[in-house]
Chains A and B, each alone.
Chain A
């Protein structure tokens, strides 16, 4: 594992894809600001352009930092990120949540910093030496590394980012070679949490778990642990649900049936589907979408930028953007597979998982496949912190790409 000579941009196609997506994103943010009603989105594309400049600097810096250094610094970065998450809980700002730290004119989301730090920390934990994943209990370190930021983010509360931390954990474990069955058993309590609503479905879930346990034959203690944690999670469903704010409950409920609150929480989803559906094959034309123009689309520059794409560029536009993302993710996977060291490969794979999760959750939300969680479209949506995270991660990726 000798580090090769630094060659700067090792995967120009990846850089081209990320720049293309970021610039198209700014164009769509510009379009999102073309509305008939006074909107914060008007003119905000210039701010995103500024963020892109900052992100490019971060990208360049990341390409210059040897991955070894990152591995060394990972615990310090992780500690700093956790500290930031604690600080933001104390003095943070934001709509309904405490998720932003104000630094004069710019606002930073510590959750995004924490995502990168957690990825680095997990990669450090799970790489370098051969790991023994024979027992579930041996996974306690990576789980603990993720649970801390996960819980802090959930307290903001930012359900969407919390889900991303879960995705990062699964991705890292998956890439480190943890058997799929073990990952399944690890995640099973989360499924219980969702199914705890219905005794019959939840009961069926237990039979499935029992089947896995029987065939997989883990340690007895582990089996008991899995069963107990599933039981606890399912029992927690009702109290947890009741502790959610009504707007959060509504967001989850309208996902099942938007018409139950067509004027309230369901409004966003219905209007988003109307915008996308009315786009048809070729769309209403760039900056022309009436749903967006007349302010029927909420958060059209961040969460629902995908709906603007659907309305204005049509199915053709959606396919084009999905193709760009597919290429980008394919490049990331290739780099992760070909990476000469485990640390870099794990980092790249986790970054690809973050991009993938954001893409699926966000677009799924705009068409009603996913609940409304407020996750932005990667590289496209307005938002500096997330762009910074991605460009830094992609900078690291360029470095990793040079170490095949």
Chain B
């Protein structure tokens, strides 16, 4: 039996051992904490920040787009995006139920949103891309109720003239996965808005700017908790502004006066600079509704609309040029020596002409009688041009058209331009129909702008620019830039100017002399020169064309217009009044004084009338 003192001594010894163990353990713990908190603290602080900070792209405001007079074509307005942070699907659904009436979310849209959340459960769910101020304040005032709802401000593209400029401006929208892989969009992040069509697409690199970054604090679930203002991140670099040669008021006028219920388009060029003054296609759509995601229903209805509102009928679409082609025939004929302004043909017009066992008709059943080239242009006599085509010959015609820039794009600064269609040579027919599958009569059809002959409004406007100025035109361009205005097309009329003026005068007669096909629509204060066209349409009534320029002696505007099936009662041509009203509006808007030569024209035209016409 141990005595009390021995027991005490023994316990003291055990107590010292325990104290030693305690000291060692605490020392180990302390040294570990020291290593973590003192020696490697900066490393862990960095790791903590990496943990909780996320870089988020700050969209750069796109450059503002102005028209030639400084009016805003495209601008950025503050837009509010209301979105829902990721979370359990039943929470999302219940928040959505509480918000739907206030955010004007319909039952169908609600279903779409829930579907989207199921597809991408870890991404914020955008409820309203362009929320109204009332919607934003509703959410903000009820913050505690809607903790998962995030309101962000983001520049929002707006096109004040909307439908009037749809086909030239394009629209912006989120970059697609296929686009992300294209070299054109190298360095773009998913979710970024890009120009999808028109000017927005063409000048993306200039308009886009550089997105910046900001840092937000996220929790362990990845939800954004708040903005982090620790001096990190950099601001977005706004895109550059862009000025267009477009006249916005002219554009809006075209939208308001385009014949109701009809389809077609109109384009106007500034002949001295190549600037596009007007580019309008009808029917149209409101590009504002495409911003921030095109509603599926809207897209489908636009795509499936038989009127094809998404189609750019000015540059992306080609029509048989009809009688507007007769000036190309006249030019080629004069160049080859086959025609002069006073050349008469062998057969007078009796309303039709036979080729072998086929009969080719003139548009006027009673016939035009005998006409020279000038008169045939004025009255648009088909029988004359059948014979002119015959005289020029197929080879000279195909060569001549190519020498006038046909079969090439005009080079306008818009995506998806059509090249049009015109046979390149005799072999083209052989390849298409076989060596024996066609006859020389094709030249008759080609001569009056039918057959294998389809041209865009823009192409025709460009050729008439050459007729108006006598110089190789500047390729049409929407953006105002010295670089673009410093170019010339590689072709020219290659006619002595006297010859060109003869053709111009014939076009003046079209609009200013009785029996001229556009006589009813001459301008009051300036001389109009132009050519109508009636393009046969295999799908129905013919299309109504007009291509012209004014003032004839000092052209300031070249216009080409088409109204599909634009002869409602068989004779009236809807394209002509459309074009002349726009010309008038433009010339008035630039305050062009009335022409002094105007009276001389009248006298010269009366001289022309001395030529007897049946």
Contact = CB atoms under 8 A, between A and B. Distances in A.
B10 to A, nearest CB: 6
B51 interface: yes
A54 B36 CA distance: 37
Interface in B31-74: 32-34, 36-38, 40-41, 43-45, 47-48, 51-52
A274 B11 contact: no
Nearest to B45: A278
B22 interface: yes
Nearest to B220: A295
A363 B26 CA distance: 10
A172 to B, nearest CB: 12
A337 interface: yes
Given A296-B51, A333-B15, A356-B22, A290 B217 contact: yes
Interface stretch (A109-117, A118-126, A312-320): A312-320
A281 B34 CA distance: 9
A277 B19 CA distance: 29
A82 B499 CA distance: 120
B374 to A, nearest CB: 85
Contact of B29 (A274, A295, A314, A363): A363
Contact of B48 (A36, A291, A369): A291
A356 B218 CA distance: 37
B29 A290 contact: no
A277 B22 contact: no
Nearest to B217: A294
Contact of A314 (B12, B37, B47, B48): B37
A324 to B, nearest CB: 11
A141 to B, nearest CB: 20
Nearest to B25: A360
A296 B14 contact: no
Contacts of A293: 219
B298 interface: no
Interface in B459-479: none
Contact of A130 (B2, B19, B32): B2
Contact of B41 (A130, A278, A322): A278
Contact of B10 (A37, A177, A295, A322): A177
A159 to B, nearest CB: 20
Q: Give the interface centre of A296, A326, A337 by most chain B CB atoms within 10 Å.
A: A337
Contact of A345 (B11, B17, B223): B11
Interface in A265-296: 271, 273-281, 290-291, 293-296
Nearest to A282: B37
Interface string B75-110: 000000000000000000000000000000000000
A310 interface: yes
B220 A337 contact: no
Contacts of A294: 51-52, 217-220, 225
A326 B19 CA distance: 10
A310 B2 CA distance: 47
Interface string A345-368: 100010010001000100110010
Nearest to B225: A36
A60 interface: no
Contacts of A325: 26
A336 interface: yes
A276 B26 CA distance: 17
A326 to B, nearest CB: 6
Contacts of A274: 44, 47-48, 51
A315 B34 contact: yes
Interface residues of B, number: 40
Given A37-B223, A276-B44, A329 B217 contact: no
A37 B219 CA distance: 7
Classify the secondary structure of A's interface with B.
Answer: helix
Contacts of A278: 41, 44-45, 47-48
A277 B44 contact: yes
A330 interface: yes
Interface residues of A, number: 47
B18 interface: yes
A277 B30 contact: no
Contacts of B225: 36, 294
B29 A364 contact: yes
A360 B18 CA distance: 14
Contacts of A279: 37, 41
Contacts of A360: 25, 29
A295 B222 CA distance: 10
Contact of A336 (B15, B33, B34, B43): B15
B51 A315 contact: no
A273 B36 contact: yes
Given A294-B217, A322-B26, A360-B25, A277 B10 contact: no
Contacts of B17: 174
A21 B48 CA distance: 28
A277 B41 contact: yes
A378 to B, nearest CB: 14
Given A130-B2, A296-B220, A330 B44 contact: no
B41 A275 contact: no
B610 interface: no
Contacts of B12: 337
Given A130-B1, A274-B51, A322-B30, A281 B37 contact: yes
Contacts of B1: 130
Contacts of A329: 22
A165 interface: no
B221 interface: yes
A294 B221 CA distance: 8
Contacts of A291: 48, 51-52
A382 interface: no
Nearest to A369: B32
B45 A318 contact: no
Given A290-B217, A367-B32, A367-B33, A280 B48 contact: no
B18 A36 contact: no
Nearest to A296: B220
A293 B11 CA distance: 47
Nearest to A294: B219
B52 to A, nearest CB: 5
B153 interface: no
B37 A276 contact: yes
A277 B47 contact: yes
Contacts of B22: 326, 329-330, 333, 356
A330 B38 CA distance: 27
Nearest to A278: B48
Nearest to A319: B30
Contacts of A295: 219-221
A276 B45 CA distance: 9
Contacts of A175: 11, 14
Contacts of B29: 322, 360, 363-364, 367, 369
Contacts of A336: 11, 15
Nearest to B50: A274
A268 B51 CA distance: 13
Contacts of B33: 276, 310, 315, 318-319, 363, 367
Nearest to A353: B18
A318 B37 contact: yes
A278 B26 CA distance: 21
B592 interface: no
A326 B12 CA distance: 18
B11 A277 contact: no
Nearest to B41: A280
A337 B44 contact: no
Nearest to B42: A280
Contacts of B8: 337
Contacts of B435: none
B572 interface: no
Given A277-B37, A277-B47, A291-B51, 16 more contacts: A36-B219, A36-B225, A273-B44, A274-B44, A274-B48, A276-B37, A276-B44, A277-B44, A291-B52, A295-B221, A318-B33, A333-B19, A333-B22, A337-B8, A363-B33, A367-B32
6 contacts: A37-B223, A276-B36, A278-B47, A294-B218, A295-B219, A296-B220
